[in-house]
Amino acid sequence: MVASAVRVILAALALLALADVPAQAKEAQPMAKPHPVRWSIAIHGGAGTMARDKLPPERQAAYRAALGHALEAGAAVLRSGGSALDAVEAAAVVLEDDPHFNAGRGAVFTYNGINELDAAIMDGRNRAAGAVAGVTHTKNPVRLARAVMEHGPHVFLSGAGADEFAREHGVEQASPDWFATPERWRQLQELKTRQLGWFDVDLKYGTVGAVAVDGQGHVAAATSTGGLTGKRWGRIGDSPVIGAGTYADDRACAVSATGTGEFFIREGAAHEICARMRLLGEAPQAAADKVIAEIAGMGGEGGVIVAAPDGRTAFAFTSGMFRARADSRGRHEVAIFADEP
C-alpha cells in the first residue's frame, strides 16, 4: 500500500519534471531573437582592379550614390510586398539608365563604334528565363529579356531579331545616341591607340546585376551589360548566358556575375554556385568563394552576387566590385573596394 503510494507520487513528480522541460528550454533561448530576414537584395555595378588612387573621391561618391539609388529601387519593391523578379528588374533598369555603368546608357563601344547590349533575367520559382544579345535599339535590355521570358516560346534572342521582338511587344526603343557617352568613346580610342587587350578591366567595368529574395522566399536574378570595350565579331559574354552570368533557382539561390565573361562561360559560374549549394549543401559565401577561386585559377577575374531563399546574400570577387545590399532587417551596405566590409 505504502509502496504503491510512493510509486504514484514519484510518477507524478516525474511528469511535473517533464512538463517543466520546455519552460527551461525556452529560458535558455536568447531573450530578443532577431527577426528572420523577410526579403533581401544585392546588386553589382561591375568588377575590376579597383584602387583608391585610380578612382578620385568625387567619382567614388558618384558611384556610391548611383548604387544606393538602384538598391533603393529594388528594395522598395520588396518592402511593399512585391516579387523578387520585379525587384531585380527595377534595380537593373536604374543601373541601365545611369551612364556610370556599362549597361544601357553608358555601355562600352564595339570595335566598330556601336553599342551592342546583352541582358538576362531569371525567375527562381520555375526557372523561367529570358535573354538577349547584341541589341542596339532597345532602351532597357533587361526589360526585353523579361518580355522574351514572358511572351515568347524562346529563351535567348539576338541582334536585329531581338530588337524586332521588342518593338512587337511594346518594349521602349531608343536611338543609338541614347546609349553613347563621350567617356566610353574615349575608352575605345584609348584601347585602339594603346592596343590594349580584350580584358583590360579599367576600360569596361560597369556591367550591372541584381539578385533578390522576396517575402515568399522566391529568388530572381538579372544581369545587363555592354560587354567588352572594342569587342568584335558579334562577341557575346557570360552576362546573358543562362547558367554562366545569370541563374536563379528557388531550390538553391540566385546569381549575377561580372568579369572576364569567357571564363565565367567556361566555368558555368552562376549554375555552378547554385549546384554547389543544392547538391553539396554549401553556404552562399562558401559556394561563391569556391567558384570565384576556380575562375581566378583559370586566369579570369571578376565577381558574383548571390541571394538564397532564406535571405542570406554573398559577394565574392577577385579584386574589387561596385556592390550594395539591403534587407528587411535594416542592413544597408554600399561598397567598392576589397577592404570594405
- Contact footprint for ligand ASP (CB under 6 A): 46, 204-205, 207, 225, 227-228, 237-239, 245, 258-259, 261, 302
Q: Which helix (H) or strand (E) segment is 123 a member of?
A: strand 117-123
What is the sign of the dihedral through the CA atoms of 319, 325, 329 and 331? positive
Q: By the 8 A CB rule, do 145 and 117 touch?
A: no
In whole angstroms, how close is the CB of 265 to ligand ASP at the nearest point?
Answer: 8
Nearer to ligand ASP, 108 or 147 (CB): 108
Torsion angle, alpha carbons of 55, 58, 60, 65, to 10: -160
| Residue 269 to residue 275: CA distance in whole angstroms | 10
| Residue 244 to residue 260: CA distance in whole angstroms | 11
Nearer to ligand ASP, 124 or 227 (CB): 227
In whole angstroms, how close is the CB of 116 to ligand ASP at the nearest point?
Answer: 10
In whole angstroms, how close is the CB of 288 to ligand ASP at the nearest point?
Answer: 16
Nearer to ligand ASP, 102 or 328 (CB): 102
In whole angstroms, how close is the CB of 313 to ligand ASP at the nearest point?
Answer: 19
Catalytic residue, from 136, 207, 258, 318: name it: 207
Nearer to ligand ASP, 236 or 274 (CB): 236
Nearer to ligand ASP, 47 or 77 (CB): 47
Residues 6+ apart with CB under 8 A from 4: none
In whole angstroms, how close is the CB of 258 to ligand ASP at the nearest point?
Answer: 3
Grid coordinates representing 40 are 533581401
| Residue 43 to residue 165: CA distance in whole angstroms | 27
| Residue 306 to residue 43: CA distance in whole angstroms | 9
Q: Is 207 a catalytic residue?
A: yes
| Residue 192 to residue 217: CA distance in whole angstroms | 47
Residues involved in catalysis: 207
